[in-house]
Structure 1
Amino acid sequence: MIDRRHFLQSAAALGAAAFVPLALAQPYPSRPVRIIVPASPGTAVDITTRFVAEALSRSLKTPVVVDNRAGAGGLIGTDAVAKVAGDGYTLLFAGVPHLTTRWFTDNPVTFDPVKDFVPIARVSSSALGIVVKAESPHKTLGDLIAAMKRKPGEITFSSGGAGSTSHLCSVMLNDLTRTRARHIPYKGNGPAVTDVIAGQVDFTCQGAPSVVPMIKAGKLRGLAVTSAGRWGEIPDVPTTAQAGVADYLVASWIGALAPVSTPAPVVERLSEELVRIAQSPEFKAFCASQSMYVDIADRRQFLGQLPKEDAHWKRIAQLSKES
């Protein structure tokens, strides 16, 4: 005789086992997606993420929420993503500081920015503008370089923090021109720009969203942009090559990453969606309005880029410590 109780328990177990594959096989996405931005609102990576998140929400047919986790040069937000399950529901949108900040912190860094993340796609990049206050005696980039040569260590530059792109951009300028300036780090790009306007600091290198409005308002003077072409929003400002410094190109990329354990099919789906968004006329218009560039790399191309970028910025970080 079959034990009725044993039969019911076995049937329940079989039913549960049959349900597991169905649950795991739920189509992605089946719930909202969160994108963590390890930077403050209003920065280039933040405004880009918000544009992409809105488009991604429409294509995935699920809410995509942007969560700013600024602090410690981006380490706080990045660490939060590194620790979550790799299920495709928590992503990271980041830029060059993703690779650089760890060399400038006294806090223990518990993740590797290359090994612990899988690249999804790069969507854009932005050059930086070298700016001084509108009334500065430095009318050109050549004037600023000459001043740094006359007064080594006396000319100051501000940045959004040690290891930020704005910091290392100035380090590269000093390296290429064999000059030396004194670094004044701030907690964010906003105050770094404000103190240049106020005359507390001599110059800064910043992304377009931080400085173009101030140049247009007559509060800052643009000396050069670190790209091969001029910014459309401020066409009177020359490129660094036109200003006399050859090979001085600095671009801060913006792209999406996920925890390394994220399933390959999910990464592939997200990569396809982000590439499609970045190719759209709407995204091209958005980038043009922000003096940024559409700069697309799918997950395979982005994967090949990161180790090279890591080695490049590691060298620049070492230069900053030697100066």
Structure 2
Amino acid sequence: MLSKLAAVLLAFAVPCAAAQDYPHKPVRLIVPFPPGGSVDLVARLVGKSLQDALKQPFVVDNKPGASGNVGAAYVAKAPPDGYTLLVGSAGVFAANQFLYANPPFDPLQAFAPIMRIVDQPNILVVGHQSPVHSVNELIALAKARAGKLSFGSASVGSAQHFSTEIFMQQAGVELLHVPYKGGAPALVDLMGGQIDMLFDTSPTALPYARSGKLRALAITSRQRSPLLPDVPTMKEAGLPDFEVVTWTGIAAPAGTPQAVIDRLNAAIKTALRGELRRQLEETSLIPVGDSPEAFREFMRKDADSYARLVKAARITPQ
């Protein structure tokens, strides 16, 4: 009897001891998109903060493909020990499951949520060579050239894609979708004139809008950004019901010890009270820093919202 009791106690003690020692080796932060996008930026800033706080390397590893599903599925199958983490977008954690006929994982079952790190608006941008200087002008041109103006996105079902679907519904226009494998290549093609418009994530669009390489027409948040004070919100630009804010979060494989989850959450929260907050806000990101429990509930509610949006947009699962 005593030997059985000892075995039970040992089973509980081993994860606790491992958590107290965590991390004792490098940690990989899997970003399921190419370098250069907003999720990659958040991962690198958070990774540096965690490295400073926990005294082990936090190495960003980009594994793009299938709208983020390749990298996310990799993390879902990783050992649940806290040494392989996923830094992903709303698409990976909420939307993709409704965009694929046979999704490779159920986000709420496959991952142990750690934190919703930031919220972020999108910025509606056109190339500097575009004849369009306002949202109203863009709508007029789109109606005159129905189905011919093109918009880019990081992938089917990405925040850029859904922002544009909402725009088309509310503005009463039809646009041609050109999906990419990440936001960065879409941005490059917009600057090169290969596509006509893009609802790009604010951190990546901001420097180009400021430098004049792109023209910012509007921002999708409720309020103007202090970093682009002259750029109106979509509501101010003539679409009163338009507001889209996406997000980036961090999670571990399901089954990761709760003590490890809590340690990571606490370390990021501490960083968000200092230099990390300033770095994120400088790129127009809005720090959140919620609890693992709050992040799980947010994922569930956001998934419900995406399910309705996919149905309304008549998107056929791939």
> TM-score scaled by structure 2?
0.88
Q: Bigger radius of gyration, 1 or 2?
A: 1
Q: 1:33 to 1:191 in 2, by over 3 A?
A: closer
**How far apart are the structure 1 equivalents of 2:82 and 2:234?**
40
State yes or no: 1:143 paired with 2:134. no
Q: 1:306 to 1:17 in 2, by over 3 A?
A: closer
Segments of structure 1 that go 5 or more residues without pairing to the other structure are 1-15
CA deviations 1:161-198 (Å, max 9, x no partner) are: 11111111101111222322121112222231222223
> TM-score scaled by structure 1?
0.87
CA RMSD of aligned residues (A): 2.4
Q: 1:125 to 1:260 in 2, by over 3 A?
A: same
1:95 is matched with 89
Q: Choose which of 268, 277, 283 in structure 1 pairs with 2:276.
A: 283
Q: 1:19 to 1:203 in 2, by over 3 A?
A: closer
Letter in 1 for 2:283: Q
How far is 1:23 from its partner? 5.8
**How far apart are the structure 1 equivalents of 2:13 and 2:206?**
52
2:3 is matched with none
**How far apart are the structure 1 equivalents of 2:299 and 2:25?**
30
Q: Choose which of 18, 27, 32 in structure 2 pairs with 1:33.
A: 27
**How far apart are the structure 1 equivalents of 2:13 and 2:280?**
42
Question: Percent of counterpart pairs with the same letter?
Answer: 33
State yes or no: 1:302 paired with 2:286. no
**How far apart are the structure 2 equivalents of 1:20 and 1:122?**
31
Contact 1:156/1:202 (8 A) holds in 2:
yes
Q: How does 1:5-20 map to 2 (within 5 A)?
A: none
State yes or no: 1:238 paired with 2:232. yes
**How far apart are the structure 2 equivalents of 1:22 and 1:288?**
41
Q: Choose which of 56, 61, 78 in structure 2 pairs with 1:62.
A: 56
Contact 1:28/1:266 (8 A) holds in 2:
no
Q: Choose which of 302, 311, 316 in structure 2 pairs with 1:318.
A: 311
**How far apart are the structure 2 equivalents of 1:18 and 1:223?**
61
2:254 is matched with 260
1:293 is matched with 286
Letter in 2 for 1:61: K
How far is 1:307 from its partner? 0.8
How far is 1:234 from its partner? 2.4
* Equivalent pairs, count: 306
State yes or no: 1:48 paired with 2:35. no
How far is 1:208 from its partner? 2.2
**How far apart are the structure 1 equivalents of 2:9 and 2:306?**
50
Q: How does 1:169-184 map to 2 (within 5 A)?
A: 169-184=163-178
Letter in 1 for 2:298: Q
**How far apart are the structure 2 equivalents of 1:18 and 1:189?**
49
Q: 1:260 to 1:18 in 2, by over 3 A?
A: closer
The range that moved more, 94-103 or 165-174, is 94-103
Contact 1:171/1:319 (8 A) holds in 2:
no
1:160 is matched with 154
